[in-house]
Amino acid sequence: SDNFFLLAGPCAIEGEEMALRIAEKIVAITGDLKIPYVFKGSFKKANRSRIDSFSGIGDEKALKILEKVGKTFGIPTVTDIHDVKDAEKAAEYVDVLQIPAFLVRQTDLVVAAAKTGKVVNLKKGQFMSPESMKHAVQKVKDSGNELALITDRGTMFGYQDMIVDFRGIPVMQEFAPTVLDVTHSLQQPNQSSGVTGGKPELIETIARAGIAVGVDGIFIETHHDPSIAKSDGANMLKLNYLEDLLKKLVAIRSVIKNF
């Protein structure tokens, strides 16, 4: 396809009904727009600021829901892993293993993911330069796996803000297809509450810039009602806004693909 691809879904798998409902809606939208779609959902959240933050509904249960979503709609799925022992287990259920940004320097984890033979989506650390993602991709390749993706989710800018450096997109595309995460890159971390803030009203701004620059894919966390989501509600896109956003992105893509 000449189009960009989409990784989208809720931050965390909260239950089967919500996962299927969100997937169904996105499958319909992306089908119309001819956007290759990968369903995204975390089976656990291991890196919350606070110990009382939501961490999941049970690993096995969540992974099976991911598998069911994939089979129900005939689409690939992606989830993030936090531990070497997660790699093989998650690989039984999903198509893409994602390495969280905080963990992308953990060689054991990257190698374990790569050795499953699945696509490995490497999130750029908030503390890493675009150039330094070369080494993360190389670890996947050195493990005999050519299926690496890079996802940019922003870079630290002071303590409580993140910024997307669009200069980094072509740099990282020299190493692997590069995705822009338009929800996490708008986070405002290190808030005194211990709950990360966000600026969801700027999702379209960041996404339009990304597509214009030529990203290969877009990553969006979305939920029917972010205000009741159990994780990252401050950053997710309201699902009702997704179709309008994707239509705009497809329109920009249709121009720049001819450049």
Chain positions contacting a second copy, by CB under 8 A: 46-51, 55, 82-84, 102-103, 105-108, 111, 125-129, 131-132, 134-135, 138-139, 142, 155-161, 163-167, 169-170, 186, 189-190, 192, 194, 199, 202, 205-206, 208-214, 248, 251-252, 254-256, 258-259
The C-alpha atoms of residue 173 and residue 181 are separated, in whole angstroms, by 15
Q: Which is nearer to a second copy, 77 or 116 (CB)?
A: 116
Query: By C-beta, is 67 or 83 nearer to a second copy?
Result: 83
Q: How far apart are the first and last CA of the chain?
A: 16
Nearer to a second copy, 17 or 52 (CB): 52
CB 58, min distance to a second copy, A: 15
Cβ proximity to a second copy: between 24 and 131 the closer is 131
- Least Å from the CB of residue 4 to a second copy: 13
At closest approach, how far in Å is the CB of 22 from a second copy?
25
The interaxial angle of helices 107-115 and 133-142, nearest 10 deg, is 40
Question: Contact, 81 vs 102, CB < 8 A?
Answer: no
CB closer to a second copy, 72 vs 106: 106
Neighbours of 194 (CB within 10 A): 12
Q: What is the SS3 assignment for 24-78? A: HHHHHHHHHHCCCEEEECECCCCCCCCCCCCCCCCHHHHHHHHHHHHHHHCCCEE
